[in-house]
Amino acid sequence: MTIPYPADFITEINRLLGDESSLFWDSQNSSPRSGLRINSLKTNLDLIKKILPPGSSDIPWAKDGLQLPLDVHPGKHPYHSAGLYYLQEPSAMAPVAALDPQPGELILDLCAAPGGKSTQILSLMKNKGLLVANDSNPRRVQALARNIERWGGQNSIVINDVPERLVDHFGPIFDRVLVDAPCSGEGTFRTDAREIKQWSLKFSKRCANIQDEILWFAGKLVRPGGILLYSTCTFNQLENEGSVLRFLQANPDFRIDPIPIQTGFQNGIPFSDQDPKGLRGAIRIWPHLASGEGHFFSRLKKSGVISEQISRQSTSAGISAENQGIYKEFFNSTLKHTERTEIISPESSDLACYGNQLYLRHFPSLHLEGLKIYHWGWYIGRFSENRFKPSSALAFGLTKEDIQLVIELPLTDPNLLSYLRGSPITYPGIKAKDKAWVLVTVDGFPLGWGKIVQGRIKSHFPNWLRQG
């Protein structure tokens, strides 16, 4: 089936690709391949390959990614609910690989929703350092928070604010900043007809103006010696190389940091011979050259030497004596004392309450008050009527070895589907007099909490993940 593309879009592609353009148009009439990226905090590729039909293949630029065969959609598998993998278009995995986040760093994902790239960053950080995941859209930030929660990352803060306020609040403190910018979406035309319907040259120019503004603020958040990674899922030069050039003209303290070419990558395209030679160090992914959709990304390095971060003391309160006693009772009756739970023990100085919600604050000296905070850190749970209710984020961030009572359900157990639907389940050994929180797992991987009530286990599987 031939897709009715706008004439201006056809002209631009033909100009950019020349003799290659026929290959591009042929690729647009083929079915795209989807992908998944494993959660290396929890599992490995070999395990996930066992639940997939034959035909999956490695993705050159994403060591934790797999390209799936056509018509394979593992989004309803319990392993997906357990956060063992994230469904993500293969090309979308490339920018974070180029960003190269390191454990222990302070990193900002400025336009983070729905969270695919944020979860990839968290895996590479290995629960060390801090990811600030921000999205200015109030509707999209909820999806961002949920995906981070399911991923089990402990070292993140979720913010729902605009870049200008982040600049005023933080200044240049981040080691790495990712800007996966809003764009005209030309790279997704063959998978999303809605993107075609809204496209026009005028719309592309409007996107470029938005990108210029976001990039300007992003540059003010990068510390000396730090990295800014800019990416889009579109093809035109105005929003890609053009956005980079306009940023460099306005920010002479940045330079292009070339990204090595590998299988499936193509160099950036300068406008003319007068453009900086480094512009070729940007990367394009074309669907006729790689098994992925269209993508562009460029790595920009800020001049200067990384200096010590300036710490500002947070004004957040700790935990009241009453709530600390309630939490201590929960901790001692539900969790084990392990290396992973030590950081959230009742005596931890990094625990803080905001309203009735309890968080673990990584980088507690990082000043956050005054921003629109969605999650202040690792969300542990909430206090209600002199009781403590653990969050699903806590369950996803721990392992079965950290919990006193664990329900282990194999994939073939009928109780598993009942739990995923939010229905009560029975389990051998549970008595009517028992009252406790239990961790429910699939093949040993945490899915969420259950509460023993009158000899049955009430499902506390998150509503937004329930099936059926």
Residue 65's nearest CA partner among 108, 113, 117 is 117
More confident residue, 174 or 70: 174
Read off the pLDDT of each residue in 15-39 and give the average, rounded to a whole number. Answer: 94
pLDDT at residue 95 greater than cutoff 70: yes
Query: Over pLDDT 70: what percentage of the chain?
Result: 96
Confidence of residue 468 (pLDDT cuts 50, 70, 90): low
Q: Which of 263-272, 302-311, 411-420, 434-443 has the lowest mean pLDDT?
A: 302-311
- Hey, which bits of 94-219 come out as E strands? 106-109, 130-134, 156-159, 174-180
pLDDT, residue 432, reads: 62
Which pLDDT score, from 0 to 100, does residue 216 have? 98
The torsion angles phi and psi of 305, rounded to 5 degrees, stand at -110, 135
- Do 262 and 227 touch, CB atoms closer than 8 A? no
Which CATH architecture best describes the domain 405-468? Roll (2.30)
Average pLDDT over residues 8-32: 94
Rounded mean pLDDT of the chain? Answer: 93
Of 307, 323, 465, give the one whose Cα is nearest residue 384: 323
pLDDT at 2: 67
At 173-219, the pLDDT tens digits run 999 999 999 999 999 999 888 889 999 999 999 999 999 999 999 99
Task: Inform me whether the pLDDT recorded for 309 exceeds 70.
Answer: no
For range 410-438, the mean pLDDT:
90
- Is the pLDDT at 147 greater than 70? The verdict is yes
First-to-last C-alpha distance (Å) of the chain: 34
For residue range 226-266, list pLDDT tens digits in order: 999 999 999 999 999 999 999 999 999 999 999 999 999 99
Residue 311 has pLDDT above 70, yes or no: no
Question: Is residue 310 over pLDDT 60?
Answer: no
Give the global pTM: 0.95
Which residues are tagged catalytic?
A: 233
Quote the pLDDT of residue 10: 96
* Tens-digit pLDDT profile for residues 322-361: 999 999 999 999 999 999 999 999 999 999 999 999 999 9
Q: What local confidence, expressed as pLDDT, does residue 312 receive?
A: 42
Centroid of chain to Cα 226: 20
Fold classification of 7-302 (topology level)? Rossmann fold (3.40.50)
Cβ–Cβ contacts within 10 Å for residue 257, how many? 17
pLDDT tier at 136 (50, 70, 90 boundaries)?
A: very high
- Report percent pLDDT > 90 for the chain: 84
Model confidence band, residue 274 (pLDDT cutoffs 50, 70, 90): confident
- Look-up of token digits 């201006």: 8
pLDDT band of residue 306 (cuts 50, 70, 90) is low
What is the rounded distance in angstroms from the CA atom of residue 384 to the CA atom of residue 382?
6
pLDDT above 90 for 363:
no
Count of helices and strands (H, E) across the chain = 15, 22
Average pLDDT over residues 431-436: 76
> Domains of the chain: which residue ranges?
7-302, 311-402, 405-468
In Å, what is the CA distance from 62 to each residue of 65, 102, 119? 5, 15, 13
DSSP H/E element including 298: strand 295-302
Q: 442 near 82, Cβ under 8 Å?
A: yes
